[in-house]
Amino acid sequence: MERPAWAPQGIDITVPSVSRIYDYYLGGSHNFEVDREAARRAMAHLPGLPKIMQANRAFMRRAVRYAVSEGVTQFLDIGSGIPTFGSVHEVARALAPEARVLYVDHDPVAVAHSEAVLEGDPLAGVVAADLRKPAEILRAHAFRALIDTERPVALLLVAVLHFIEDSEDPAAAVAELLDALAPGSVLILTHAAYEHIPSRQDASGVVGVYRDIRKPLVMRTAEEIAGFFAGTELVDPGLVPMAEWRPEQGPGEEAEPYANSGYAGVGRKA
Ligand SMILES: C[S@@+](CC[C@H](N)C(=O)[O-])C[C@H]1O[C@@H](n2cnc3c(N)ncnc32)[C@H](O)[C@@H]1O
């Protein structure tokens, strides 16, 4: 089987990865046939998946710009994925060249590619760690070197919490991370949901594909997702379909029915 130079040694390229499937939806090239096959099966149920992912990235960029406009120039992006066009450090630095960014992912390809992209960058780094173990993130050398917890931080949990099942208590992980951050920090979050997806039945098919590859995709209700913001105050317009969060685009995005799948919100820690 193919093993390109960018694939870290030791990874099992016969098992699909959430990170590489997402890379494929976004038109990236860091994926294997096993990932593409899973992505194609999911897209057979819901052809708009790439549109949903593009809307997710567009929200993320708007929210990063919002954070900078509020004076937040430190970013902790957990479940950051394989770097693609318009990453957090690029978007933030367009407005604040001094912005510091720490990426965290548990996927070896995401980590290796982030390392390559960030090589020689003193104000950005990547840690291989798991969102379900926040203490390991908080005591990582790169975290302590890059992030000043006395000043506000933007914590990004973008399209990642829906990969953590209730039995693993994702809300406790979010709370532990927020607890470590200074007042004025912001939580930037998106999450998959059945509401607003053009076809609920087709979305169930996608959930089935992820179940089959043993990477459960947990759809949550708006109320459940709002619970992740405990300890913060949602900024306007609150928790809303992704394309409705402070849209700044020209024509197109809002007209795209899939762009409103999933919820997005930003909460500010008092
Ligand atoms: C759908 S991608 C989202 C990437 C990026 N945040 C974005 O929205 O464009 C989800 C990412 O979360 C990562 N991930 C999933 N569960 C994780 C966990 N428990 N700890 C750390 N990363 C995780 C996956 O490896 C993948 O790279």
pLDDT for position 251: 56
pLDDT greater at residue 1 or residue 156:
156
Spacing, Cα 83 to ligand 1 middle (Å): 11
Residue 252 confidence class, pLDDT cut points 50, 70, 90: low
Residue 259 confidence class, pLDDT cut points 50, 70, 90: confident
Percentage of the chain modeled with pLDDT above 90 = 86
Whether the pLDDT of residue 78 is over 90: the answer is yes
pLDDT for position 254: 57
pLDDT for position 255: 63
Mean pLDDT of the chain: 94
What integer is the mean pLDDT of 134-142?
A: 98
Spacing, Cα 79 to ligand 1 middle (Å): 3
18 close to ligand 1 (CB < 6 Angstrom): yes
Spacing, Cα 17 to ligand 1 middle (Å): 10
Pocket test for ligand 1, best of 21, 163, 187 (most atoms within 8 A of CB): 163
Backbone angles phi, psi at 100, to 5 degrees: -110, 140
Spacing, Cα 212 to ligand 1 middle (Å): 18
What integer is the mean pLDDT of 20-29?
A: 96
Whether the pLDDT of residue 250 is over 80: the answer is no
Measuring from atom 13 of ligand 1, which residue has the nearest CA? Answer: 79
pLDDT for position 1: 57
64 close to ligand 1 (CB < 6 Angstrom): no
19 close to ligand 1 (CB < 6 Angstrom): yes
pLDDT greater at residue 168 or residue 84:
168
Least confident of 28-32, 41-45, 90-94, 259-263: 259-263
